[in-house]
Structure 1
Amino acid sequence: MVHTSGALSLDVLEGARRAGAEVGSFHPCQAFATIEQALQNLSGSTIGIEASSEGLRALLERMAEDIGCSYVRVPPEGKVLYHAAAVFASNYMVTLVDVALRLLERLDIERTAAMGLLSPLLRGTLANIKKPGDPSGIDRTNSPR
């Protein structure tokens, strides 16, 4: 039995484990607003995997590869950090963009135009973050150390 939560450990499947099932988690580290978006964005994502046995772990790793994903093994004690990293990267980005859009709306720039203004900046920032070297891709003069 496998769950898809990034935050929950295998403890939530303890009943299944006691009944003799192998248990695991298979968490796509991706934001899915709709089923259509999920189908479009899943390939190329990374799957966080935890399993109660080597056999199930190998099966989940093959499943990830079969759907065009890479994977990372998430140890039980690492679930909270793994999930927190995903929250910071996804949810906080949404919040920051919303704040930026609201600031631009105060200048009477409509939300659609404001998103058009910010989109190239966001793409460029992401491209900089993905470059080798300094993984932050940001100007460290204003970042916490």
Structure 2
Amino acid sequence: MALKSFNIAIVGAGRVGTLMAKFLSQVLGHRIIAVVSRSDESIERFLKRVKADVASKSIHDLPSEVEVIFITTSDSAIKEVAEKISKLENLNFKNLVVYHTSGVLTSDVLDSLHRCGSEVGSLHPIYSVSHFDYTVDEIKKIKFTLEGSKKIYDITKWIFYNFDSNIFPIDKSCKVLYHIACVFASNYVIALLNAIGEILRKANLNVDDKFLIPLVEASLKNADELGVVNALTGPIERGDLETLELHLNELKDKFPEILPLYSSLAIETIRVAFKKKSISVNLASQMLGLVSSYIGKK
């Protein structure tokens, strides 16, 4: 539990807003005094999972005793929401802390509130938030990146007391690169699983999309235990040029829409295999030349 229980408002009652509210109230012991969202449906869904003193569709109903606001709307709405909050006359801005939860935007988007005297920050949960009902044990494991005004780091350690080790500072100039990494780690893994399922169906295997998930899990376990580079296996790591060519030809003939994806990942895999010292400079060059010759082919 936190040393002090803060009065917190959540603006945006979607998946991220609900997750943050559960972390703040059920893990850290803070009080959710208000939730503001655009629809009755989202508010009702939120209140089934998290208690809030005030529930409204209007930003003007934020209570004056609020100390911390989390803006958990879509990225495109954050600046407008912040500007609306900055015009409220009942808030004590000099004692107010405001975060948004965008992975790609910096705290600069909250500048209208910072000019009013509030401390501001971007606090991004490093998690794939696909539903509303994560357990407390799952929520406790979530890590965050943080950047913002000078005092925001000490304030965040206070708010996340006992969980401040879950907070990782990031320079605002690096947020876009960081977010790209998150997209690779989450969204593109799902895209790869979809491609895997399509390939298996074209191979006439009577299995579902989960068929190769144990293989994916084993790869992740190896990466965790051995390190990413040392976990690499497969035909490229073994230097099997012939198998690589068989793959490229088969995709060119039977799955040309996935050939560019395979080719891009093969190039990165060649880099990893060379870093692992599994293949020589000469073999890496041959492989890159082979893969490059298929890029753009239909």
TM-score (norm 1): 0.83
Q: Aligned pair in 2 of structure 1 residues 144, 46: CA closer, same or farther (>3 Å)?
A: farther
Q: Tell me the C-alpha RMSD between the 2 structures.
A: 2.3
Quote the Cα distance in structure 2 between the aligned partners of 1:65 and 1:135: 32
Q: 1:22 aligns with which of 119, 123, 135?
A: 119
For the pair shown, which has the larger CA radius of gyration, 1 or 2?
Answer: 2
Alignment pair present for 1:123 and 2:220: no
Larger RCO (alpha carbons 8 Å, 6+ apart): 1
Q: Is the 8 A contact 2:122 2:148 kept in 1?
A: yes
Specify the SS of the correspondent of 1:131: helix
Same amino acid, percent of matched pairs:
27
TM-superposed deviation, 1:62: 4.4
Give the match for residue 53 of structure 1. 150
TM-superposed deviation, 1:42: 2.5
Give the match for residue 75 of structure 1. 171
Compare the two structures and name the one with the higher helix fraction. Answer: 1
Question: Could you list the per-position Cα deviations for residues 31-88 of structure 1 after superposition, in whole angstroms to 9, with x for gaps in the alignment?
Answer: 011111376633212111112023x212323444646872211111110111011001
Aligned length: 140
TM-superposed deviation, 1:6: 0.8
Q: List runs of 5+ in structure 2 lacking aligned partners.
A: 1-97, 238-265, 272-298
Quote the Cα distance in structure 2 between the aligned partners of 1:124 and 1:19: 51
TM-superposed deviation, 1:9: 0.6
Quote the Cα distance in structure 2 between the aligned partners of 1:138 and 1:64: 37
Quote the Cα distance in structure 2 between the aligned partners of 1:58 and 1:90: 30
Alignment pair present for 1:13 and 2:110: yes
Give the match for residue 88 of structure 1. 184
Q: Aligned pair in 2 of structure 1 residues 124, 63: CA closer, same or farther (>3 Å)?
A: farther
Quote the Cα distance in structure 1 between the aligned partners of 2:162 and 2:101: 17
Alignment pair present for 1:35 and 2:132: yes
Give the match for residue 138 of structure 1. 232
